Structure 1
Amino acid sequence: MLRSTIRFFPKSQFPFSIFFCSPSTSAAALAVAHDEPSNPTASSSQFFPTKNEAVSKLLLFLFSTVSIKAPSITKLRGDPPLEAWVSGVNASEMEGIVELLRRKKPQLALDFFFLSKNKYGFKHSMSCHLIIAHVLAGRQRLRGLKFHLQEMVKEEGSGSAPALCELLQNNFDYWVAHNVVWNMLAFAYSTSEMVADALFVLSKMKDLNLQVSIRTYNSVLQCLTDVYNEIKASQSEYTNSILINGLCRPILVRESGISVVCFNSIMSAFCKMGLVDVATSFFCMMFKCGIHPDVCSYNILIHGLFIDGSMEEGLKLASDMEVHGLEPDLVTYNIIAKGFHLLGMMSEGSNIITHMLQRDILPNIVTYTTLISGHCQIGNVSEAFRLMDEMRSRGIQIPEITYSMLLHSLCKSGFLDDALNLFHEIEADGLEPDIVMYSILIHALCKQGRVHKAVQLYKEMCLKKINPNSFAHRSILFGLCENGLIKEARKYFDVLTNDDLMDDIVLYNIMIDRYVKHGDVREAGRLYEYILKRGITPSTITFNSMIYGLCKARKVRNLLEARELIKNIYSNGLVPSAVTYTTFMDAFYEEGNIKAVFEMLSEMEAKHIEPTCVTYTVIIKSYCKIGRLQKSVQILKDMFAKGLSPDGQSFNTVIQGFSQAGDMKNAFCLHNEMLRHNLQPSHVTHNILINGLCMFWDLRVADTFFSFLQDQNMGLSKQAYTTLIKAHCAKGDAKKAMLLFQQMVENGFEVSIRDYIAVINRLCKHRLIHGEICFKRILHHRNDHDSIYQLLSLVIKCGLDQC
C-alpha cells in the first residue's frame, strides 16, 4: 500500500520529530556534530535522544562505527547486533535514517538500504524506495536505477502508477534528479508490460511539463505493439518519435503537420486493446491541436464505446457528428446496429433502416445480417423473416450464415417444424445446405427425441459427401442415449471409434455417463480403461461421471477413498470441479455422514473452488438433517450475497425442515421470500406447507390456504388433495373428506382403485360413515364393474356386509 509518511524538504533540514523526543532538536545537526565522536562505545541516547533504542543504536553505528572502521557497510553483513537493530525499526523511522544517510553519506545510504532489504528482509516504504531511486539517479547509476524501479513496480503491481506519481509530485518536486526518476519510472512500467500505468506516468509528466526522453517513448511504443506497427507501416522511425512526443505537446503536433490519419490509427489500436478511455483522450486532443476529426475518427470511437458497453455515450457521440458538420455514413449505421445487437436492444435497432433511408443511405448485407442476427438472438423470428423478405425485395443475396442463424433461432424457440420447412426452402431456392445447417437441425431433433429424423438427415448429409463434424456425431449419440436406446447408441459409438474415425473424449463421456445413470458401472469402467489404452486423455467430466457411478453403487464409503479419486484427477493434469466435490458430498449425505460433507466443503474452499447452487443445496440439506435450520437460512442469504440464485429445491429443503419442526411461521416466511425473489413455489412447496399445517396447526388454516391456492389457479397436485382428505378423516369430518375427494375426481386427476380403497379404509376405520352410503357414493364416481368385487370385499372386510 503506497503512502506518504513524511514530506521531504531537500533544501532545508529534515524534520525528525517522528522519533525524536524534542522536535526542536536537529538530527542532521547532531549527525554533523558527532560525525566522529570521541567515544564510540558511549550510549547512543547520549547523541540521539530518541524513544526507540534500536534507532539510536543504528544512528550511532552508522555515523560513527562504520565511518571509522570501513568505507562501506557491506563488510558487516554478518554482524548480529545490526540485524537485531534493523528488526526493531519501523518503516517511518527507517525513512528518516535513510534520508540522513543520503545527506551525509549517499553510498552508505545505498549500502544500508539494500543490506536491510535483501539480507534482513526489511519492508521499506515507497517513500524510502524513491529516496534511493533519487540517490542512484544523482550518482548516474542508471542501470541500478532501472533494476530498482522495475523491482518496485512489479512488487506494487498493475494500477499503482497514480499513487506513485502523487508521491513523486508531492514529496520530490524540487530534487535534482527528479526528471530522470520520472522517465525511468515510465520505462520500468513499460518494460514490465503495465501499459496503462506507463501511459499514466507519461500523462502526468506532460501535466508537470517534464521532458520525456526518446528512450522512454521507444519503450512505451515497444509495449504498445499494435500502435507501433500501424505507425511504422506509414512513417519513419524519426517521425514516430516526433508523433508520440507531439501527442503530449499540442504545439509540436501543429508544427509537424501530423494528420488525422495518425490519430485514427492510434485510437483504433487503443480501442482494440480495450483502452477506450485512452482513445477518447486522443480524440479530445485532436480538437486541442486544431485537427478536425473526420467520420472515420467518430466511427472508431463509437465502435470502441459500444464494445465497452457505453451505448449511451456512443449514441451521444454519433449525434455530435452533425454538430461538427459531419454526416453519419453507412459504416456509422452498421456500427450502431452492431452495438444494439451486442446489448440486445433490438427494439431500438429496428428503426436504424428507417433513419438510413431518410438520409438516402441504402442498407447493405452487413446491416441486414447484423439486425437479423440480433432479432434471432432475442427470439424475434417474425421480424427476422420480415428483414429477409426486405433483403430479397432489394435484390440482396441472402448469405448462408443468415439462414443458419434463423434455423438456430427457430430450433432454440422450439419451432422445429418451421425450421425443417425453412431448411427445405433453402434447397428449393437452389442453395446447398452446409454442415452448420445440418448440425443445427440434427442437434435440435435429437434434443426433442426425434432421433430417427436426425439419423435420416445424417445419412442424407453423408450421401451429399458433406463430412459430419464432431457436433453432429455427439448430437446423435446423445439423442439415442437420452431416448433410452442404449444398444443402438453403443452400435453407433462402436462404428465411430472402432474405425478410428475420431478419438473424441466427448463421445466416450456421453456413453460413460449413460451407463453410470443406468447403474452399469462395470461397463462404464471398461470404457474408461479403453480410453487409457488408446491414449486418449480423460477430461474432468469423465472422472465426474465415474465418481458419480461409484458413489451411486455405494463403492465410495469414506473420505480416504474420495480423496484418492481426487488425487487421480490431479495426476492426470486436471483440476476437480465443483461437480466433483458436490457428488461426493451428496453421497456422504445419503449415507448420513454429515461430518464428511462439511469436511469436503472445507477442502473445496481451501482449493478455491467456488460452490454451485447444487453444492449449497446439499449443504442446506445437511444442516436441516442435523436440526440447524437457522444455519441453513444463512446459507440461502450467503448465496444471494454471492450472486447465486437458490432454486426451488434449496428453498423447499429449508421449508420442509421448518414444517417438520412445527415452525410454520418461518416456513411461510421462506415461502414469501421465494415470491420476493420471483421464484414461483412449486407443487412440492405447497404440499410441504399443507402437510405442515395439517400436522401442527389448525386444520382450518390448511383449508384456507388450500382454497387460496385454488382461487389463484396455482395448480394443486393430487398429493395436496389426499393430504387434506387424510387429515379430515382423522379429525372426523367425513363430509369435508368426501367433498375433497369429489373435487379431486372432477378436476381430472387420475384416480385408481387404490385411491378409492384408501378413502373407504379411512372413513370406515374411524366409523365416520355407514358402509352402504360410502359404497354407493364411491360407485357413483366409478363405473368400473370389474372393481366392484374388490370394493365389496373391502366392505365385508370392514364388517359392513349388511349393505
Structure 2
Amino acid sequence: MSSPLDHGTYGEEFSLKILFGNVALSSKPLPFLSLSVYTQHPKTLMRRINLLRPPPSLLPATTLHSFTTLLPYNNGGSSSKPPKKGPTLTFTSNSRWVFTDNYLPPPEWIEPFNDLSDIASKIPQDLKPSPWVHQIMSLLLDGSVDMESRLDLFCNKFLIKLSPNFVSFVLKSMELQNRPDLALKFFTWAGKQNKYTHNLQCYVSLIDVLAINGDLDNVKSVFCKYRGMGFLMNVSAANSLIKSFGRLGMVEELLWVWRGMKENGVEPSLFTYNFLLNGLVNSVFIESAERVLEVMENGKIGPDVVTYNTMIKGYCQVGKTQKAFEKFRDMELRNVAPDKITYMTLIQACYAEGDFDLCLSLYHEMDENGLEIPPHAYSLVIGGLCKEGKCVEGYAVFEKMIQKGCKVNVAIYTALIDSNAKCGNMGEAMLLFERMKKEGLEPDVVTYGVVVNCMCKSGRLDEAMEYLEFCRVNGVAVNAMLYSSLIDGLGKAGRVHEAEKLFEEMVKKGCPPDSYCYNALIDALAKCGKIDEALAFFKRMEDEGCDQTVYTYTIMINGLFREHRNEEALKMWDMMIDKGITPTAAAFRALSIGLCLSGKVARACKILDELAPMGVIPETAFEDMLNVLCKAGRIKEACKLADGFVDRGREIPGRVRTVLINALRKAGNADLALKLMHSKIGIGYDRMGSVKRRVKFRILVES
C-alpha cells in the first residue's frame, strides 16, 4: 500500500544534477534510495527519502563513483558511537537511483493540513486534512491493546513525528470526543516523542475531551501539569478552559483562568462571559453570576439571549422563579428577543412549582411570537392542565399541537386518558385510547396501567382483568401500578380472595409490591373483617423493607377500632409516632372517632393536645368528634366535649354552637337542634351577682 510519502513511481524521470552535478558512476550496486528533491531555493535539500528496491533489470551497469557519506539517525537524537565509515554512494548522470546501506535521514514533523503556505488567508473549514490524519486515526481506533507500539512502528517506518498542531487536531476530532481514555493515552504517547513538547492547544483539547465525559480526576491532573508549563493565555484557550471547568463545577480553576486572562491583558469576548456565567450557574454561585451579568449590562460587551437564558436557568435551579421572570422582562427592555430555550426553562420551572396556569400563559406567548414549540413544551402544558383536572383545556392544546404538525407521543395521550377518566369521562378516555392505537402508537405499560385503573374505579373489573391478560399474552411488562389498581379495585368490590391471589402472582413474577399495593390489600382485608390477615401483611411489609406510610397506619388503626381492639389500635398509633411518622388529619380522625365511640373522649382530647407541638393541627378534629358522638346518640358527651373546646380556647363559642346544631340535625335529632338554635346556650351569659358566666352546652340535656 502506498503511503503519503511516496511521491513517484519507477517510471518518473529524476535528476540529481542540481545537488551533485554530472559524475561518472562506478563500484558495485547497493540498495536503492529514491530521492524527491525540491529545487525552488538554493538552500533547499531533500524533503523525502523513500527506501525502494527496484527490479534487477533497472540496476545500472556503469562504473560507480564514490560519494559523500550519510550520517546515521538515532530516533531524532544524537548517537553515542562515532559515525562509521559510510559506504560509497554512487550514481550515473542518467540514473534516478542513489545507493546506500543502513543510514536514515532524520524524521520529519508532519502537520494536520496538506497546504500551509497560505494558511493566514484561508478559512479553517477550507483546509483539507492531511492523509496522515486518517492513517493515525485508524491506528488509534482499531481497538489494539498495543496502540503505542503500533504508533511507534508506523512513525519509524515512514520517518515521521507528529507535531503539536497534529496532536491537538487529533484530540479535537469527533472520533475521540467520547473516548477520554484513548485521548489520554494518545496525549501521553505523543509527549514521549523525541524533542517534542505539547503546546497550549494540546492541553486545552485534552481537557475539553475529559470534561465532556465528566472525568474530573484526570482533568485536575492534566490541568496541574498545564499550570506548570507557563503558557501565555489567549482568548480561544481561555474560552475552552472556562467552558470545560464550568461544565464540571470547577470554580477555583475557572477563576484561575479568568485571572490569567486579566494578568496577560487578554480582553474577554461575549463567549468568554457566557462560558464564565454558565460555569458559575452550574456551580450554584448565583450571586457571583449576578455580578458578572451586572458588569456586562454596564460594559461595552452587552448580554445576549444566551446570557439571559443562563441566568434564568440559574434562578430556576435554586427556586427563585420570581427573579427569573424579572430577567425575562429585562430582556424586553434591552431589546433582546427571548427564544424557545427561554420559554422552555420558565415553563419547566412553573410546572415543577405546580403553576400550570402560568405554563399555559407562556405557551400562548410562544405561539403569538411565532416561535417553534417543541414537543416537550406541549407535554408539560397538557400534563399540567390534566393534573388540575382541566381536561377540556388540555384537549384544546392537544388539537392545536396536531394542527401545527407536531407529532403526539404516548405520554401526552396517557395524560389525557388519565385526566378524562378521573373527571368521570370514561367514554372520552377510551376514545382517546383507541385513537392512539389507530395512529400507530403502541400503548406502554403506564398507559395500560392508567386504563386499568380507570376501569377499576368505574367498576368495570372484568374488562380490567382482560387487559391484564392482554398484557401477559403480548409480552407487555406489567408493573406495580397496574397490579395495585387491580388489587385495589377487587378489594373494594369485596373480591378479596382474588386480590390476594393477584398479589401472590405479582410477587412470583418478580414484581416487588410497593406501599400502594400493600395498602390496597391491607385495606381490603381490614374492611371485610379479616384483621388478623391484615396484620400479617402489615408485618410482612415491614420484614421486606417496604415503607409503612401514614396511610398504612391509618388503615390499621381504623380496622382495629372497627373490630373493637382498641388497645391494639392505640399501640399502633404510638408505634407510628415512635417511628417519626407525622400523623395526618385523616389519621387523627380515625383515632379520635374510635376513641369517642369507645367512650374515651378525654383520651382523644389529650392526644389532640399532644399534636400541637408537632405542628399538626387537624382543623376539623372537633367537628368530626361532635358528629360521631351525635350520630351515636351520645348527646351528653358531645355537649361536654363542646364545653371543653370552648373552655380551653380551641374554638370560639359561636362556631362550636353552629357545628353542634349541624351535628344534631344530621343525626336526626331536630328537636334538640331547634332548641339550641333558639336559645342562648353556648353563647349567652348568666349573671350571678357581680359574676358573669357563659351558659354551658350541657344545659341542653340537663334542662
- TM bin (shorter chain): 0.5 to 0.7
Does structure 2 conserve the Cα–Cα contact (< 8 Å) formed by 1:379 and 1:409?
A: yes
Partner in structure 2 of residue 754 of structure 1:
659
- Correspondence 1:778 to 2:677: no
Q: How does 1:727-742 map to 2 (within 5 A)?
A: 738-741=643-646
1:236 to 1:601, Cα distance in 2 relative to 1, 3 A: same
Q: 1:425 aligns with which of 322, 325, 330?
A: 330
Pairing partner for 1:517 from 422, 434, 441: 422
SS state at 1:779 partner? coil
Task: Give the one of 453, 456, 468 matched to 1:548.
Answer: 453
Q: Which one has more relative contact order, counting CA pairs under 8 Å at least 6 apart?
A: 2
User: What residue in structure 1 maps to residue 483 of structure 2?
Assistant: 581
Q: Could you list the per-position Cα deviations for residues 450-496 of structure 1 after superposition, in whole angstroms to 9, with x for gaps in the alignment?
A: 87776666565445443544445455545555555555555555566
* Equivalences for residues 354-433 of structure 1 within 5 A: 355-356=259-260, 359-360=263-264, 364-366=269-271, 368-370=273-275, 372-373=277-278, 383-407=288-312, 418-433=323-338
Summarize the Cα distance change of 1:558–1:312 in structure 2 as closer, same or farther, 3 Å threshold. Answer: same
Q: Is the 8 A contact 1:381 1:410 kept in 2?
A: yes
Once the two structures are superposed, the pairs formed by residues 284-303 of structure 1 within 5 Å of their partners are: 293-299=198-204, 302-303=207-208
Q: 1:497-508 to 2 correspondence within 5 Å?
A: 497=402, 501-502=405-406, 504-505=408-409, 506-508=411-413
Cα contact 2:479–2:511 (8 A) shared by 1:
yes
**CA 1:252–1:412: 2 relative to 1, 3 Å:** closer
Partner of 1:134: none
Quick check: 1:528 aligned with 2:439?
Answer: no
Change (3 A) 1:575 1:356: farther
Distance change in 2, residues 1:232/1:637 (3 Å): farther
Q: Deviations over 1:359-405 (max 9, x none)?
A: 44655545543454466568776554433223334433433234334
CA contact 2:171–2:209 (8 Å) conserved in 1? no
**Partners of 1:490 and 1:666 in 2: how far apart?**
46
Is 1:247–2:247 an aligned residue pair? no
Aligned: 1:629 with 2:531:
no
Code of the aligned partner of 1:234: V
Equivalent residue for 1:668, pick from 574, 585, 593: 574
Relative to 1, partners in 2 of residues 1:380 and 1:622: Cα closer, same or farther, differing over 3 Å?
Answer: farther
Gaps of 5+ in 1: 1-229, 782-790
**AA in 1 matched with 2:432:** L
Aligned-partner residue type, residue 133 of structure 2: S
In the other structure, the counterpart of 1:437 is: 342
- Partners in 2 of 1:752 and 1:444 — Cα distance? 46
Quick one: which amino acid aligns to residue 491 of structure 2? Y
Q: Distance in 1 between matches of 2:534 and 2:618?
A: 30
Q: CA deviation at 1:555?
A: 0.7
SS at match of 1:519: coil
- Distance in 2 between residues matched to 1:289 and 1:612, nearest whole Å: 60
Picking from 130, 133, 143, the partner of 1:234 is: 133
User: Partner residue of 1:718?
Assistant: 619
Q: Is the 8 A contact 1:690 1:702 kept in 2?
A: yes
Q: Deviations over 1:694-731 (max 9, x none)?
A: 8899988766654443234x13112445578889x999
Contact 1:318 1:328 in 2 (8 A): no
Q: C-alpha separation between the residues in 2 aligned to 1:542 and 1:446?
A: 21
Does structure 1 retain, via aligned residues, the 8 Å contact 2:635–2:701?
no
Q: Deviations over 1:307-360 (max 9, x none)?
A: 5655456435433433455678767776775566556687x6885676456644
Q: Secondary structure at the match of 1:715?
A: coil
Amino acid at match of 2:574: F
Letter in 1 for 2:451: M
Partner Cα separation in structure 2 for residue 362 and residue 527 of structure 1 = 59
Q: TM-score, normalized by length of structure 2?
A: 0.58
| Partner Cα separation in structure 2 for residue 356 and residue 749 of structure 1 | 74
Query: Are the structure 2 counterparts of residues 744 and 442 from structure 1 closer, same or farther at C-alpha, using a change threshold of 3 Å?
Result: farther
What is the distance in 2 between the residues matched to 1:239 and 1:416? Answer: 50
Q: 1:367 to 1:695 in 2, by over 3 A?
A: farther
Residue by residue over 1:94-117, the C-alpha shift from the partner in whole angstroms, topping out at 9 and shown as x without a partner, is xxxxxxxxxxxxxxxxxxxxxxxx
Q: Aligned pair in 2 of structure 1 residues 760, 532: CA closer, same or farther (>3 Å)?
A: closer
Please give the TM-score of this superposition, normalised by the length of structure 1. Answer: 0.52
* Cα deviation 1:107-163 (Å, max 9, x = unaligned): xxxxxxxxxxxxxxxxxxxxxxxxxxxxxxxxxxxxxxxxxxxxxxxxxxxxxxxxx
Partner of 1:62: none
**CA distance 1:412–1:586, shift in 2 (3 Å):** farther
CA distance in 1, matches of 2:519, 2:240: 45
1:778 is paired with a residue whose SS is coil
Task: Name the structure where helix makes up a greater proportion of residues.
Answer: 1
Distance 1:623 1:248, change over 3 A: farther
After TM superposition, give the deviation of residue 687 of structure 1 in Å. 5.3
Displacement after TM superposition at 1:585 (Å): 3.0
Alignment of 1:337-348 (within 5 A): none
Q: Aligned to 1:585, what secondary structure does the other structure show?
A: helix
How far the C-alpha of 1:283 sits from its partner, in A, is 5.6
Q: Specify whether residues 363 and 328 from structure 1 end up closer, same or farther in structure 2 by C-alpha distance, changes over 3 A only.
A: same
For the residues of structure 2 that align with 1:717 and 1:749, how far apart are their CA atoms? Answer: 19
**Mapped partners of 1:238, 1:356: distance in 2:** 34
Question: Of the two, which has the highest radius of gyration?
Answer: 2
TM-fit CA distance, 1:516:
0.8
> How far, CA to CA, are the matches of 1:508 and 1:470 in structure 2?
13
Write the distance in 2 (CA, Å) between the matches of 1:475 and 1:518: 19
**Which AA in structure 1 matches 2:291?**
R
Cα–Cα, structure 1 residues 745 and 536, in superposed 2: closer, same or farther, change >3 Å?
same
Counterparts of 1:302 and 1:748, CA distance in 2? 74
User: Using a 3 Å threshold, how does the CA distance of structure 1 residues 495 and 369 change in structure 2: closer, same or farther?
Assistant: closer
After TM superposition, list the pairs within 5 Å mapping 1:3-22 onto structure 2: none
Deviations 1:404-428 (A, max 9, x none): 3444555676666554443333233
CA distance in 1, matches of 2:589, 2:471: 39
Q: 1:591 aligns with which of 477, 483, 493?
A: 493
Residues 331 and 337 in structure 2, CA contact (< 8 A), matched pair in contact too: yes
Residue type at the aligned position of 2:329: H
Q: Is the 8 A contact 1:569 1:575 kept in 2?
A: no
d(CA) in 2 for partners of 1:462, 1:434: 12
Distance 1:308 1:494, change over 3 A: closer
Q: Give matches, 1:602-621, under 5 Å.
A: 603-604=505-506, 614-615=516-517, 617-618=519-520
2:408 is aligned with what amino acid? D
Question: How far does residue 524 in structure 1 lie from its aligned partner after superposition?
Answer: 2.0
Q: CA 1:459 to 1:500, structure 2 compared with 1: closer, same or farther past 3 Å?
A: closer
Q: Hey, what's the Cα distance between the residues in 1 that align with 2:455 and 2:640?
A: 52
- Is the 8 Å Cα contact of residues 264 and 300 (structure 1) preserved in structure 2? yes
Instruction: Describe the SS at the equivalent of 1:433.
Output: coil
Aligned twin of 2:94:
none
The DSSP-based 3-state class of the residue aligned with 1:627 is helix
